[in-house]
Structure 1
Amino acid sequence: MKGVLLNNLGSPDTTNVNDVKTYLDEFLMDERVIDIPYWKRYVLIKGIILNTRPKKSAAAYKKIWWDEGSPLVVISERFTEKLKKKVDIPVELAMRYGSMTMEQGIKNLVDKGVTEIFLAPLYPHYAMSSYETVVVKAEEILAEHYPHVKLDTLPPFYNEPDYIKAMSNNIANHLEGFDYDHILFSYHGIPERHIKKSDPTNSHCKIDGSCCERNSVAHHTCYRHQCFETTKAIAKELNLEEGTWSNSFQSRLLKDPWLKPYTDFELEKFPELGKKKLAVITPAFVSDCLETLEEIAMEGEEDFFKAGGTNYKHIPCMNDNDDWVDVMKNWIYDWKISS
């Protein structure tokens, strides 16, 4: 019997500081998120970050929290319920971090008689701190508890035509009637070293502005390349004029070099360049969350206006958009008939 496990990032159970601390502990202690030796990670996370960051993060979560709970979780649940009505096999939702565990999601499928799981990480792009850690975790759970269960995984879908079409339609609908002179594609940032660690050739990636344009097997696991390809595909689909859009990367952590340019720096400089009417898109996320609703829709708008901007619009993620549900339904159907 076949079944589907949808997987998103996760969220604290509440905006209580202790709940946020518990969530951040699990998230930041993941060796694929903070990829430094265990003892250094332990000292950094347990000894420093968890003594200061939970209070600040809890305040941020309170700004975007819904009556039903965490926006990311609520949206993911809505998407899952819509999808269940369109497919004829079991579908479960799990989170990589938090109380909606992957262990429970897989158990729910197995308890229903599922012996073949289609794992769908809800990340369009490959990164060791998102897509990879989900796949590795699923493989570990199955190897330890359900070795008889077969696992197939949805590849990164950053350039899948149906996804690009649905995403472009969502953007176009939200841009209707909005007067803008520039569109910023803001992707979640990752450390530059993650890009090089994910390069299977150990030689292609230079992060030099040109390596993403040269053909290479490394592109299959290169987050930076895949982000740029998503932008180019959407710009082509929407017939955006050259010079009216650009890329940036948000949510950097610590002092290591992260992918550039940084979103907050771009927001501050656009008005000086005459770009005072801005639309911001966050294509690394399929569901609105803290990074989109607070960092971009709230803080981003405030920073842009302080710098002299006049018009600002955050374009919502795909969320439980019916077109997006249909895209996932079709991917599941294709997997069913091919596996």
Structure 2
Amino acid sequence: MSVKLNHDSYIKLKPSKKFEPTNPETCITSLDFDDSGQYLISSLTSESINLYDAYRGTYNKPIYSKKYGCHLARFTHQQKNCVYASTKEDNTIRYLSLNDNSYIRYFKGHKALVNSLEVSPRQNIFASASLDDTFKIWDLRTSTAQFSLPSKHSSFVSFDPTGDVVAIASQSRGIIDLKPIEMLHQLPCASFEVPQGFNFNKVEFSNDNRYILVCSTNQNHLLLDSFDGNLVCELGPIISIPGRSFPDTGNATFSPCGNFVFSGNGDGKIAVWDLTKKSEINDSLPKFLTPKFTLTGDVKPRMLSFNPKYLQLITADSQLTMWTPELD
């Protein structure tokens, strides 16, 4: 059954499955879907990776990494294979087969904790940024970094939908550099400014490549034009999510169609902005867009991720919630 991606289908999203942690002190720190949209993985503070069958709405199994810790688990394009960052020992990125829990390869080179890791949407490469103030590009077929660049400050990385461009966003510099994958050694093809002092932990391109979302940790989110870097608007108001502080991969994300942004809010709701309603952006500075509607059903939606193949939203903190539309 096909469902149109629009306001009418998004507003019908309701929690369909909830998975409670075995330990209430455990917190989820990252979410990712595979290319098919069938499988979902999360990394946890309990030093484990959880595998779900998102299509069937079932929990498969935990994969433990007690010796090395784990964060930023990301699927590769080979089904049930993933890379993840170690949080203990040697800051190595590990390439793991979830089929038999065996390691395929180790990617060594970072001297401090890896705080951002993304797999290219089209190629068998991935980008990483570390608190050692370096940015690296890796090929899954070899353990040696293909490219390394001093980033001067810790950064966050993201690929555009084509996989041809990687964004390197520095919070302390207030700069997002766009670099073509084929010309990494050259100067950025574009550099966009972010307000100084703006705290963020995620940069994401919309699937149609029109926008860049800069996901705030305690302020309004920023929506930039991906071609000229101009501020389209601020998305707010955002209420800071109270409680424990753990690493995460951002509390806002684009809808698959690129016309909506979903964000967790400290009031226990999910705020949803309709980007097609540009006429509703106020003319004063800063430009500002208010949520079109809200969703309820998760008391603390600290992280969000959309399934790339199905109309399914995931929210997570200590519990993981799967959302699907309540159809007529």
How high is the TM-score relative to the length of structure 1? 0.27
Which structure features the higher share of strand residues?
A: 2
Please tell me whether Structure 1 or Structure 2 has the larger radius of gyration of its CA atoms. Answer: 1
Which structure features the higher share of helix residues?
A: 1
How high is the TM-score relative to the length of structure 2? 0.27
Q: Which has the higher contact order (CA 8 A, sep 6+)?
A: 1
